[in-house]
């Protein structure tokens, strides 16, 4: 690899001059500049990023910390992060924590050593990730949290409005004429609670206060969805439509209905939330899409604003809006058929 010294010699100038023409940091006479440019081309010179980083104390790298790229939500966020970073001249280091405390520990050390200029942490559920964020932050590294809990109050955050998610899901069903809805919630999850609240808010427009039926799952899993689906199928009084706290639940739920001889959307209209599994169902599940890609973009924009100092002071939280994407799991219903609520 040619160094700046080689270029300087080749062009017959000092290294300071080479640096100047490369970075445009000061005026260089036209003919001199040309000599340098030519020399660079001849030698195929590429500035050494390590050396530059060392001198400038800026690595031009950011880290994206996430639980696992295998989870369908994260690749989209990662891509948003990478796109925004790329556009701004940053490279991104991926760090899969796998929710493993040991990995998390090693990664925070690694990131400190690497002198990354900033990090975006997505969906930090664990205490150890919380600690990681704090540690990095204390070391002066800007941190923005993507889709994290309210407890991370020292950081910039970019979120999707969970209440709005529930609201949209319910509204979509109401607009299709469904009067009494059910909801599948998840025990001890604030996310789920917010989504339920959104459902309630939508219902209030119709005068109702609560969903006609609330089933409780113990986790956002397909198995739990299936379990509740079996339960549901055996009931006499059934709402004509359900909202699931997330798509996984919806998939399991729908599977159970299918096994019980009930079909969607004929016997039940169903809408999911997060739109990760929409393609997994026939007919396609209607679901509320979380703009993961856009959240990634926004997170990095926030981060860059912190890194270049154009944004200072108290933490900001940006909220993006979800949107409903229609599948074929919801059926229009006339005002009359709403009244009769058994399949």
- Rounded Cα–Cα distance for residues 173 and 198 (Å): 13
Could you give the angle at which helices 15-23 and 30-43 cross, rounded to 10 degrees?
90
* Dihedral of the alpha carbons of 215, 217, 220, 222, in degrees to the nearest 10: -90
Which of positions 12-51 make contact with a copy of itself (CB under 8 A)?
46-51
User: How many CB atoms are closer than 10 A to CB 203?
Assistant: 24
Q: Does 91 bind a copy of itself (CB under 8 A)?
A: yes
DSSP state at residue 27: -
Q: Smallest gap, in angstroms, from Cβ of residue 224 to DNA? A: 49
Q: 53 or 325, CB closer to a copy of itself? A: 53
Out of 9, 33, 103, 267, the only residue in the binding site for a copy of itself (CB under 8 A) is 103
Cβ atoms of residues 122 and 77 within 8 Å: yes
Binding to a copy of itself by residue 6, rule CB under 8 A?
A: no
Residue 9 or 258 with smaller CB distance to DNA: 9
Ranges within 52-91 binding DNA (CB under 7 A): 52, 54-57
125 binds, among DNA, a copy of itself, none (CB under 5 to 8 A by kind): none
> Which one of DNA, a copy of itself, none is in contact with 27 (Cβ closer than 5 to 8 A by kind)?
DNA
> Can you tell me whether residue 125 is helix, strand or coil?
coil
Pick one of 41, 51, 94, 110: the residue that binds DNA (CB under 7 A): 51
Could you count the other beta carbons within 10 Å of the beta carbon of residue 134? 15
The token pair that represents 17 in the structure block: 């001059």
Could you say which of DNA, a copy of itself, none residue 109 binds, taking C-beta under 5 to 8 angstroms by partner kind? a copy of itself
Residue 187 is a binding residue for a copy of itself (CB under 8 A): no
Q: Which residues sit opposite 241 in a β-bridge?
A: 181, 269
Site membership for DNA, residue 114 (CB under 7 A): no
> Which partner from the list a copy of itself, DNA, none does 186 bind, CB cut-off 5 to 8 Å by kind?
none
Residue 1 contacts a copy of itself per CB under 8 A: yes
Per-residue contact string for residues 277-316; x = within reach of a copy of itself by CB under 8 A: x-xxxx----------------------------------
Encode 90-122: b = buried (16+ Cβ within 10 Å), e = exposed: bebbebbbeeeeeebeebbeebeeeebbbbbbb
Task: Determine the Cα–Cα distance for residues 193 and 36; give it in Å rounded to an integer.
Answer: 63
Pairing of strands 118-122, 269-274: unpaired
- Region 70-89 residues binding a copy of itself, contact defined as CB under 8 A: 70, 74-76, 78-79, 82-83, 86
Question: Cα-atom radius of gyration of the chain, to the nearest Å?
Answer: 26
**Which one of a copy of itself, DNA, none is in contact with 127 (Cβ closer than 5 to 8 A by kind)?**
none
Which of 104, 19, 115, 113 lies closest to 62, judged by CA? 115
87 binds, among DNA, a copy of itself, none (CB under 5 to 8 A by kind): none
Q: Considering the complex, state which of residue 137 and residue 258 has its C-beta at the smaller distance from a copy of itself.
A: 258
DSSP letters, 157-177, are: EEEE-HHHHHHHHHHHHHHTT
219 binds, among a copy of itself, DNA, none (CB under 5 to 8 A by kind): none
Q: Of the candidates 10, 39, 40, 45, which one interacts with DNA according to CB under 7 A?
A: 45
19 touching DNA, by CB under 7 A: yes
* Per CB under 8 A, 115 contacts a copy of itself: yes
Is omega for the bond preceding 213 within 30 degrees of 0, making it cis? no
Binding segment toward a copy of itself, per CB under 8 A, in 10-18, 67-75, 226-234, 267-275: 67-75
Residue pair 187/178 in contact (Cβ under 8 Å)? The answer is no
Nearer residue to DNA within complex by CB, 117 or 222: 117
What are the residues binding DNA (CB under 7 A)?
A: 1, 3-5, 12-17, 19-20, 22-23, 25-29, 31-33, 45-48, 51-52, 54-57
């Amino acid at each position: 690899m040619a160094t700046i010294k080689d270029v300087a010699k080749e062009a017959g100038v000092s290294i300071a001059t080479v640096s100047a023409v490369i970075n445009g940091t000061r005026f260089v006479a036209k003919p001199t500049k040309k000599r340098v440019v030519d020399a660079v081309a001849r030698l195929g010179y590429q500035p050494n990023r390590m050396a530059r980083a060392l001198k400038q104390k800026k690595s031009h790298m950011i880290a994206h910390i996430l639980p696992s790229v295998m989870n369908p939500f994260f690749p989209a966020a990662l891509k948003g992060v990478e796109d925004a970073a790329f556009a701004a001249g940053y490279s991104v280091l991926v760090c899969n924590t796998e929710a493993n405390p040991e990995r998390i520990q090693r990664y925070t050390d690694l990131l400190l050593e690497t002198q990354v200029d900033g990090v975006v942490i997505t969906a930090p559920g664990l205490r150890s990730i919380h600690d990681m964020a704090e540690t990095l932050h204390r070391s002066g590294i800007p941190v923005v949290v993507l889709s994290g809990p309210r407890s991370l109050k020292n950081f910039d955050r970019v979120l999707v409005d969970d209440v709005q998610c529930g609201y949209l899901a319910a509204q979509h069903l109401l607009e299709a004429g469904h009067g009494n809805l059910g909801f599948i919630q998840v025990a001890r999850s604030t996310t789920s609670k917010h989504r339920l609240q959104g459902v309630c808010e939508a219902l209030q427009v119709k005068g109702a206060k609560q969903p006609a039926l609330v089933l409780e799952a113990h986790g956002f899993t397909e198995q739990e969805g299936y379990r509740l689906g079996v339960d549901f199928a055996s009931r006499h009084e059934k709402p004509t439509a359900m909202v699931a706290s997330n798509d996984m639940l919806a998939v399991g739920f729908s599977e159970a209905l299918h096994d019980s001889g009930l079909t969607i959307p004929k016997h039940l209209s169903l809408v999911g939330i997060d739109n990760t599994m929409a393609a997994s169902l026939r007919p396609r599940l209607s679901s509320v899409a979380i703009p993961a890609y856009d959240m990634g973009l926004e997170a990095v924009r926030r981060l860059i604003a912190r890194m270049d100092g154009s944004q200072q002071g108290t933490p900001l939280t940006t909220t993006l809006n979800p949107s409903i994407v229609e599948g074929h799991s919801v059926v229009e219903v006339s005002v009359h058929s709403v009244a009769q609520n058994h399949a």
